[in-house]
A and B are shown apart, each in its own frame.
Chain A
Amino acid sequence: MLARIPNKRAIALCSRIISRPGPLRSQKRWNSPQAVVQQPWSDSLQFPGAIHSKFTTSLQFASTDPKDAMPTFRIMDAEGHIVDSSRAPIDITPEEVTKMYLDMLTVSIMDPIMLQAQRQGRLSFYMNSSGEEGIGVGSASALSAQDTIFLQYRETGVFQYRGFRLEEFMNQLFANAKDYGNGRNMPVHYGSRDLNIHTISSPLATQLPQASGAAYALKLQHLQNPSTVPKKVVACFFGDGAASEGDFHAALNIAATRSCPVIFLCRNNGYAISTPTLEQYRGDGIASRGVGYGIDTIRVDGNDIFAVREATLKARELALTGEMRPVLIEAMSYRVAHHSTSDDSTKYRSGHEIETWRRRDNPITRLRKWMERQGLWDEAREKEAQTRIKKEVLKAFNDAEREKKPRLGNLFEDVYEELTEEQREQMALLRKTIELYPEEYDVEQFEGGLGGLDKR
Chain B
Amino acid sequence: MPPNLIPRALFRAPAELRALIAAHPRFYSAHPPHARLNVPIDFSTTPLLHHTASSALANPELPDSVRKHSKTVRQQLHESINSALRHALTEDDNVLIFGEDLAFGGVFRCSANLQSDFGDSRVFNTPLSEQGIVGFAIGCAAQGMRPVAEIQFADYVYPAFDQLVNEAAKFRYRTGTTGVDCGGLVVRMPCGGVGHGALYHSQSPESLFTHIPGLRVVMPRSPSQAKGLLAASIASNDPVIFMEPKNLYRASREEVPVDPYTLPLSKAEILKPGKDVTVISYGAPLYTCSDAITHAEKDFDCSVELIDLRTIYPWDRPTILESVKKTGRAVVVHESMVNAGVGAEVAATIQEQCFLRLEAPVQRVAGWSTHVGLVYEKFLMPDVVRVYDAIKKAIEY
Contact = CB atoms under 8 A, between A and B. Distances in A.
A428 interface: no
B11 interface: yes
Interface residues of B, number: 71
B129 interface: yes
B135 A417 contact: no
Interface stretch (B82-90, B100-108, B270-278): B100-108
A421 B314 contact: yes
B143 A218 contact: yes
A148 B143 contact: yes
Interface in B274-305: none
Contacts of A214: 139-140, 142-143
B361 interface: no
Nearest to B249: A1
A104 B116 CA distance: 51
Contact of A27 (B7, B116, B127): B116
A220 B201 CA distance: 34
Given A2-B201, A181-B176, A206-B162, A422 B317 contact: yes
Given A7-B107, A27-B116, A212-B139, A199 B180 contact: yes
A120 interface: no
Interface string B146-181: 010000110000010011001100101111111111
B214 A415 contact: yes
B232 to A, nearest CB: 13
Interface in B92-137: 93, 96, 101, 103-104, 107-108, 115-116, 120-122, 124-127, 129, 131-137
Nearest to B127: A253
Nearest to B182: A210
A417 B238 contact: yes
User: How many of chain A's residues touch chain B, expressed as a range?
Assistant: 35 or more
B223 interface: no
B138 A213 contact: yes
A415 to B, nearest CB: 5
A199 B242 CA distance: 26
B77 to A, nearest CB: 14
Contact of A23 (B5, B7, B131, B196): B5
Contacts of A184: 173-174, 176
Interface of B: 1, 5, 7, 10-11, 93, 96, 101, 103-104, 107-108, 115-116, 120-122, 124-127, 129, 131-145, 147, 152-153, 159, 162-163, 166-167, 170, 172-181, 183, 194, 196-197, 201, 213-214, 216, 236-238, 266, 314, 317-318
Interface of A: 1-4, 7-8, 10-11, 13-15, 20, 22-24, 27, 29-31, 148, 150, 179-182, 184-185, 189, 191-193, 198-199, 201, 203, 206, 208-218, 220-221, 223-224, 234, 246-247, 249-251, 253-254, 257-258, 410, 414-417, 420-422
30 contacts: A4-B107, A4-B201, A22-B5, A29-B116, A179-B176, A181-B178, A185-B174, A189-B174, A191-B178, A193-B180, A199-B175, A199-B176, A199-B178, A209-B134, A209-B136, A210-B135, A213-B140, A213-B147, A215-B139, A216-B136, A218-B143, A223-B121, A234-B139, A247-B163, A250-B129, A254-B133, A414-B172, A416-B238, A417-B237, A421-B317
The 9 closest A-B pairs by CB, nearest first: A209-B135, A213-B139, A250-B132, A210-B139, A217-B143, A213-B136, A214-B139, A182-B176, A193-B178
